[in-house]
Amino acid sequence: MTVGGFGERLAVAIAQRGPLCLGIDPHPELLRSWGLGTGADGLARFSDICVSAFDGFAVVKPQVAFFEAYGSAGYAVLERTIAALREAGVLVLADAKRGDIGSTMAAYAAAWAGDSPLAADAVTASPYLGFGSLQPLLDTARDHDRGVFVLAATSNPEGASVQRADAGGRTVAQSIVDAAAALNPAGSPGSVGVVVGATLADPPDVSALNGPVLVPGVGAQGGRPDALAGLGGAHQGQLLPAVSREVLRSGPDVSAIRDAAERMRSAVAHLA
């Protein structure tokens, strides 16, 4: 496979390093439990520990909100964290969940999928202003060989009233998956993925997506690694389980975090 777009790079990373996305979620409670303090210095130290522990894994997902809470100091730490992960050869998925219209969406696209210091290998996005509202982000990501993971069906109970609503004989969530699928060419792994919660009893059909499916909620949130195979009709190598608290609560020791991550990688290895 000639590696170019994000979908192709992700497929190679999963094949070589396992289908696991590790979260960097510097929640204040974690900072305190790690004995780091909840200031910007603690945030930076937390991120540095995670970067060291996750070296050699396929994908790492910083949760942008926890960095935003610190203002410019937090964004500076996030920029350094993204750069350090990419320097180590780890794919970075910025969990920013951006969604807007027109020039505002274009500005978000420039920040997270363009040439900005915040730009990562991929970014999460919310389509609930209409899938078409994401076009500036999709275009920018394509032009820069980056990926976009579009929220489709989430595990939170509040989401069901919108995501499972009827949209012409299919759920809204299924319409999101189908719209993403239309952007992924046949013959090579697509770069437009979707987000589907690990604990959903009735997930949308992703079998025709030809792109990755980010599956948050594994581990501490109740998703079982042994129950993920075939989620929504997914093919082998399509699912990317996301784990955060299950691994981070082993900190702050780098070796302990890495051991927890290795155990989780082994638990989901059957999905590669």
Residues catalogued as catalytic: 97
The β-bridge partners of 61 are 23
- Other Cβ atoms closer than 10 A to 41: 12
Pairing of strands 21-24, 239-243: parallel
Calpha distance 118→78 (Å, rounded): 7
Calpha distance 242→227 (Å, rounded): 14
Q: Could you tell me how far CA 95 lies from the centroid of its own chain?
A: 6
Calpha distance 145→236 (Å, rounded): 23
Calpha distance 262→260 (Å, rounded): 5
